[in-house]
Structure 1
Amino acid sequence: MKILFTFNKTIQIRMILNFISITGSAMVMPYAVVYFTNKIGAALTTITILVIGILSLLGYLIGGRFTDRIGRKKVILVSEVVSGICFLIISYFDSFDYFYALPIIIAFMIMYIFESAANPAYSALIIDASDEKNRSVIYTCFMWISNIAFAVGSVLGGFYFEKYSAVLFFIVGVSSILSAICTYYFIVDMYVNKIATKTSKENSIINKAPFSISATFASRIFLFLCVGILLLNLLSEQFPNYLSIRVVSNYPIGNISGFNMIGYLHLVDTLITVFAVGVILKVTTKLSEKGKLMIGLALFSLGYICLSYFIQPYFLLLGMILISIGRLIYYPTLQSITAKVIPEEMRGSHLSILGLLSAMGGMLSSLFILGMEYISESSITIIFICIGICIILNYYSAYKFIN
C-alpha cells in the first residue's frame, strides 16, 4: 500500500517492529498454555495463568504512569530489553531435558508485566506521531499488518514449536532486544521533545504530579470509553472462550468437526482483514466518523449474535464475516476518537486504564464458560443482544460529548 510511505518515520518504523514483534509472539504464545499443561499439569497451569493475568493488569497501570513521567521511548526500551532477556532465560532452561518450572514461570511472569507496561507507551507513541487527518488510516494499517504477522507467526509456531520451542523462544528474545536497539536509534519520542520546550516549572508539574484516579476519570467522555472498551472485549473474547466450546460441542456436522469449523472461521477472519481492508476503506470514505462507528459496531455485534444462535456452517461463516467487516470499520475510527479526546500530558495513564479494562473484559468473558452449565444457549444469545445494544447506545451517547 503506497499510503504506508506517507506516514511519519516513527510510524513506519513502529509498523515494521510491530510486524516482527507479533510474528515472534505468535510463534510461541498461542502454544504456551499447551506447553505448560504438558509440563506441569492443568491445575498448576491454571494458577499460573491467573497470576500472570493479575500481574499484567498491574503492568498496565505502572506502564501508563511511567509513560507520562519519563516518556514513551524509555518505557518501550526497558520493556523490550527485559522481555527479551526473559525469553532468552526461558530458551536456556527449556533446552534441558529436565523441565525447570520455577525459573521458566518466573521469567514468563516478569515478561508479561513488562510487555503490558509497554502497551500504553506504544499507543501513546502512535498518537504523538500522527494527527486527526491520518490517524484512522494508520490504525487500519496497524490492524492489517498485525493480522498478517499473527497468521505468519501462528503457522511457523504450528510447524516448529513442538520440537524446537527453545529455538523459537531464543529467536523471540533476540528479536525483542533488536527491536529495542532500533527504537533507541531510529524512533523519536515527540512527547519528550515537547516537554523539553516547556519551562522548568511546567516540566516539573507534568513529571512530578501525583497519580490521581479522580483526575483520570474526570472526563465524562472517558467514562463512556471505559464502559465501551469493557463491553467490547467482553463480547469479542467470547470466540476463543464460550463460542469455541459451543461449536466443538455441537459438531461434527457432516464431515466438518468442531475444530475444523473453528479453523475455517479463523481463516475467514484473517482473509477478510488482510485482503478486504482496501475495499472497506474506499467504501466507507464518504461516511461520517459517527456513521462509521455506529455501522461498524452494529455489524460487529450482529456477527457475535449469529455465532451464539446459529450452528450451521454457513451461518457461522456469515457471522464471522460480519465481525471482520464490522471490526475493520469501527476499530480505527474508535482508536482515532480515543486519541482525540485524551489529554496529551496524561495519555499514558488514560491508555493504561483502557488497557486494564480491556484485559478485565477478556477475563470476565470466561465466566460464560461457567454460565453455559446453567444457562441455555438461547438465553446467552439474549445476553449477547443486550451487550450489543449497550455497546451501541454507550458510544452513541459518548459521541455527544466528543466535540
Structure 2
Amino acid sequence: MARFRNYHRNIKIRIAHIFFSDIVAGAIFPFMAIYFSQHFGAKLTGILLVVNVIIGMIVGLYGGYYADQVGRKKLMVLAGLIRMVAFIVMAIANSPILTSPELTFLMALLVGASLGLDGPAADAMIIDITKPKERKGVYSLIYWSFNLAFAVGGIIGALTFKNYLFELLILLSFTSFLANILVIFFIKETLLIKEAKTKQKKIIRSMVKSYKEVASDKLFLYFVLAGMLMQSVENQMENYIGVRLNDEMPTQPIFHFDVTGVEMVGFLKAENTIIVVLLTVFITRWIMKFREDRTLLTAIFIFTVGYTVVSYVNNIWVLFFFMTVATIGELMRVPIQSDFLASIPTDDKRSSYMAINGLVFNGSMMLSAIYISLGAIFSKELMTFLIFALGMSSLLIIRRILPDLKKRREFQQS
C-alpha cells in the first residue's frame, strides 16, 4: 500500500469527508428500516424504500452525465448542501415539538437523491487522480475510513437510536456542515478545463447517447449485475435481517447486559466495521500472495455463507461468529473488485460509468427493500435460501467474466 503522505490531496480530504459524513450516519441509517416499519408496517416500508432507491437511481444517471460535463466538485457541493438541509428538516420532524414519520421519509428521499447526485462524481474523481498500481491501496484506505466511521456510529446508534433520535439528527446536521466545508474549500476539481464540454442544447439526447455507449459494454454490465447481487446480500443487515432480529430475537444476556434485537443489529454492524478497521491492511497485503481470481471467488463464497447464517439464527454468539466470517470474505473481496472496476471505464466517460455502477448500490438497496416486504409474507427458511441464492448468483457471474476482466485491465494499463 502506497504511503498516505504521497497521495493526492483530494484523496486525503475525501477520507476526512467520508469520516465526517458517515460517523453519525452509521448511528442512524442502519436503523431507519426499523423506524419506518414501526410507523408504516413492514410491507409498506419495503415499497417506500423501493421508491427511495428509484429516485436515487434516476438522479444518479443525471449526476454521472453532468459530472463529465461540468466537473466533479460542483455536483459534490450541490449534493452536500441538499443533504445538510434534509438532515436539519429531518431533525425537526423528530423533535420534541413535532413527530412526523411522513416528513422524515420525504427528507430521506432528498438524502437518497443527493447521494445519487454526487456518488458518480466522487468515484470518478478518485480514478482521475490515482495511478493503476496504487488503486488497491487507495480503495482499501477509503474503505477503512468509511468503516471506521460506521464502527463508531454503529455503537452509538445501538445505544441511543431508540431514545435520542433527535439529538443524533442534530449531530448529523453538524457533521454534514463540516463535510461541506471540506469539499467547498479544500477539494480541487480534477476534470481538466480542456476536457470539460460546453453546454449542449439537447441535453437529454446527449445524455442518452452517452449512456448507450456505456450500456454497450457488456462486460461492465455483467460486472455491475454481479456487484448489485453481492451488495444486496450485505444490505440485508439494515433491511430484512434488521427487521427480523427486531421482531423475532429474544432479549439475551451478554456480559451482564441484556441485548435486544435492535441493539444486536447495531452490535453486528459495529463488529463488521471494527474488524474492517483492524484487519484491512493485513488482509489486503495477505491476499497479494495468492491468485486474485481464486481469492475473489473464495471471498464471495465465504461472504455469502456468513450472511446466510446471520439471516436465520438468533443466538448471539452464532451471530457474532458468522458476522466475522462474512466480514473476512468482504475484506478479501473489496480491493480486488474495486481494482477491476477502476480498470473498466474509458477516460472520457468515467462519471457515466460510475453512475451506472451506482446501480450496484441503488439496485441492491431496492432488492433489500423488497426483501423486507417478502419477509412479511414468506417463511424465514425461504428468505434465507433467497439470500443465499443472491450471493451464489453473483459468484457464478464473476466466475464467468473473470478472464475478460483481466484482459480489459491489461489493455487499459498498456
- Residues 10-68 of structure 1, C-alpha deviations (whole Å, 9 max, x = no match): 10110011100111323443455566678x75599837545433322222222112112
**How big is the alpha-carbon RMSD for the aligned residues of Structure 1 and Structure 2?**
3.6
Q: Which residue of 2 aligns with 1:139?
A: 139
TM-score (norm 1): 0.83
Using the size of structure 2 for normalisation, the TM-score is: 0.81
Which of 358, 362, 374 pairs up with 1:359? 362
User: Could you tell which deviates more after superposition, 242-251 or 48-57?
Assistant: 242-251
Task: Write the distance in 1 (CA, Å) between the matches of 2:347 and 2:106.
Answer: 35
- Provide Cα deviations, 1:191-222, integer angstroms capped at 9, x if missing partner: 234616xxx89x989x9943234312111211
**Alpha-carbon offset, residue 349 of structure 1:** 1.8
Q: Percent identity?
A: 24
Structure 2 unaligned regions, length at least 5: 408-414
Q: Does 2:281 align with 1:278? A: yes
The 3-state SS of whatever aligns with 2:58 is helix
* Residues 33, 45 of structure 1: 8 Å contact kept: no
Aligned ranges 1:9-158 → 2 under 5 Å: 9-32=9-32, 42=41, 46=45, 49-91=49-91, 97-99=97-99, 106-157=106-157
2:234 is aligned to 236
Change in Cα spacing, 1:66 to 1:18, as seen in structure 2 (3 Å) is same
1:212-223 equivalence runs, <5 A: 212=209, 213-223=211-221
**Contact kept? 2:79, 2:115, Cα under 8 Å:** yes
Say whether the 8 Å CA contact 2:43–2:372 is kept in structure 1.
Answer: no
Contact 2:151 2:271 in 1 (8 A): no
What runs of 5+ residues in structure 1 fail to find an aligned partner? none
Distance 1:357 1:389 in 2: 16
Q: Deviations over 1:330-383 (max 9, x none)?
A: 112111111111112222222222223432223223444454566555555554
Q: Structure 1 pair 370/172, CA: closer, same or farther in 2 (3 Å)? A: closer
- Alpha carbons 1:72, 1:122 under 8 Å: kept: yes
Preserved contact between residue 23 and residue 150 of structure 1 (Cα < 8 Å): yes
- What is the CA-CA distance between 1:75 and the residue it aligns to? 0.6
* Mapped contact 2:302–2:325 kept (Cα < 8 A): yes
Residues 365 and 162 of structure 1: CA distance in aligned 2, closer, same or farther (over 3 Å):
closer
Q: Relative contact order: is structure 1 or structure 2 higher (C-alpha 8 Å, sep ≥ 6)?
A: 2
1:183 Cα offset (Å): 1.9
Deviation track 1:301-347 (CA, whole Å, cap 9, x = no partner) reads 22234335666555433321221011111112111111111112222
Distance in 2, matches of 1:216 and 1:159, equals: 44
Residue 338 in 1 paired to residue 335 in 2? no
Deviations 1:84-117 (A, max 9, x none): 2333344456556144777665444333312321
Q: Does 1:226 align with 2:224?
A: yes
Deviation of 1:230 after TM superposition, in Å, equals 2.2
Which deviates further from its counterpart, 340-349 or 385-394? Answer: 385-394
Quick one: distance in 2 between partners of 1:253 and 1:401?
Answer: 49
Number of positions where the alignment pairs a residue of Structure 1 with one of Structure 2: 397
The answer as to whether partners of 1:65 and 1:211 remain within 8 angstroms in 2 is: no
Deviation at 1:289, TM superposition (A): 3.3
